[in-house]
A and B are shown apart, each in its own frame.
Chain A
C-alpha cells in the first residue's frame, strides 16, 4: 500500500497511457487512416483521404507555409496527381530548402515527370549537401531510380 501511495502519479500516468493506447489501436483498426511503421524509430503517418483533409486545413490556415504546401504536395503525389503536386512542392521549397523529406519527394517527382537528369541532380545535390548522414543511401537510390543516368562524384557537393 505504501508503494502504491508513493507511486500514485506514475500509476495514474500508466493508466492514462493504457487508455490512450486502447483508443489509438481501436481508431487505427476502424479508420485505417495511418500507414504502418516502416522501421523501429518511425511513426505511423496519415494517408489517403485523411492526409488530403489535413493538407486542406493547413493550406487554408497558412497558404504560404512550407509544411502546408509539403503536405498538400505529398497528398496529391500519393494520389498520382504529379503535375498538380509540383507547384505545391516548389512553393514549399521556396520557403524551406533544407527539408529532407521535401527535397527527396521533389527529386523523385521530377524524375517521375521525366525531367532531365541534370535538373533532378540539382535537387539531389542539395540532399547530399544538407544531409550527409544519408548521402550514400540517397546516391544509391537515385542512381538506380534514374537507371544509371545520374552519377555522383565523391567530392563535388561540399
Chain B
C-alpha cells in the first residue's frame, strides 16, 4: 500500500490555520508560560483568565443563545441549568467549599481531555480516516494519558495527595509510589494497544490522518512538559489555558462562520459576528463580555449598587460562585452540543 493511501491528511479549518492553532499553538503556549513563570507575577494567570478563559466561555453562550435553532435543540437545559448551577455552586461555596473544588477540578480535567478527544474526532471526520472503532481507542487514549499525567506528575501528585489529606484520607508515600507505578504501567500497555490498533487500521485499509496524531502529540507535549518540569502551577495553568481557550474560540468562530455561509445563519447576531471578515466584531464582543464578567466578579459593579448591593460577605460569595458556576455551565453544555455524528453539528464543521 502506498504511503498516500495510508496517510490521508484532513484539516479542521485549512492547512495554514491548523498548523498555527492546533499544532503550533501548544509550543508557543509553553514558551509564553515558561517566560511568565520567570518574569511575570502571579497576576499573569488572572490576565489569561480575563482575555482567554472568560471569552472562551462566552463563545459557548454565543453559539447557544445567539442561534434560535441551537437554542431550540435543548431549550429546557439552556433555560434551567444556569439557574440550577449558580444556586448549586453558591450553596457549596458557602457550606462545603472542598466539595466544590473537587467537582470543579475533576470536571475541568474531564472537559479538557474531552476537548482534545473531540477535535481528534473532527480530524478523522474531515479526513474520512480511521476505522469505526477508532473513536473508542481515541477516547481511551485521552482518558489514560491525561489521567496518567494527573496521577504521576510531581505538580499534580502534590495536589491530589493534598486533597486526600484534606478529605481525611491520609495516604503514605509508599502507596503514592505504588499508584504511580500502576499508572505508568497502564499507560505503557495502552500505548502498545493503540499502536497495534493503528497498525490494524493500515492493514485493513483504513487510512490514518497524520494531522490528528500531530495534534494529539503537541497537546500532550504541553501537558506533560509543563507538569513534569515545573512545580509552579502558574506555568501549567497559563500554557493549558492558552491552548484550551484559544483552540476552542477558533473552533467556535469557524463553526459559526461555516454555518452562516452554508445556511445563511438564523440570527442577526450570528451573522454580525460570524460572517466573512467579521473577526474584529467577534473579538470585540468577546472582549466586552470578558470586561463585563470581570467587573462583576471582581466587585467593581458595587459602585453601581447605590449602597444596596455588594457591601457584604454574601455578595463576595455570590460573585465568587459565578466564577465556578459559569465554568461548570460551559463544561455541561459542551458535553452534549458537540456530537460529531449529529447532522446539524456536521453542518458547521
Contacts and interface: CB of A to CB of B under 8 A. Distances in A.
B76 A2 contact: yes
Contact of A43 (B101, B172, B173, B231): B101
B140 interface: no
B158 A7 contact: no
B172 A57 contact: yes
Interface in B138-187: 154, 157-158, 161-162, 165-168, 170-173, 176-177
Contact of A62 (B76, B154, B165): B154
B327 to A, nearest CB: 13
Contacts of A40: 93, 313, 316-317, 320
A17 B325 CA distance: 13
A24 B99 contact: yes
B81 A20 contact: no
Interface of chain A: mostly helix, strand, loop or mixed: helix
Interface string A86-106: 000000000110101000000
A6 B154 CA distance: 40
A41 B320 contact: yes
Interface stretch (B84-92, B117-125, B262-270, B274-282): B84-92
B205 interface: no
A33 interface: yes
A25 interface: yes
A131 B84 CA distance: 37
A53 B41 contact: no
A3 B316 CA distance: 32
B77 interface: yes
Interface in B291-325: 313, 316-317, 320
A20 B313 contact: no
Contacts of B217: none
Given A27-B167, A43-B98, A10 B43 contact: no
Given A10-B85, A53-B165, A54-B170, A16 B103 contact: yes
B32 interface: no
Nearest to B328: A13
A6 B77 contact: yes
B165 A50 contact: yes
Nearest to A6: B76
- Select the residue from B85, B168, B320 with max chain A CB neighbours within 10 A: B168
A2 to B, nearest CB: 7
Interface string B58-96: 000000000000000010110011001100100111011
Nearest to B84: A10
A61 B80 CA distance: 46
A34 B166 contact: yes
Contacts of B176: 57, 61
Given A13-B103, A27-B167, A61-B161, 18 more contacts: A6-B76, A10-B84, A13-B88, A14-B88, A17-B92, A17-B100, A17-B103, A20-B96, A33-B168, A37-B97, A40-B320, A44-B97, A46-B166, A57-B165, A61-B176, A62-B154, A67-B231, A96-B232
22 contacts: A3-B80, A7-B76, A7-B77, A7-B81, A7-B84, A10-B84, A10-B85, A10-B332, A14-B88, A16-B103, A21-B91, A21-B96, A39-B316, A43-B101, A44-B166, A46-B162, A57-B176, A58-B158, A60-B173, A61-B173, A100-B42, A131-B41
Interface of A: 2-3, 6-7, 9-10, 13-14, 16-17, 20-21, 23-25, 27, 30-31, 33-34, 37, 39-41, 43-44, 46, 50, 53-54, 56-58, 60-62, 65-68, 95-96, 98, 100, 130-133
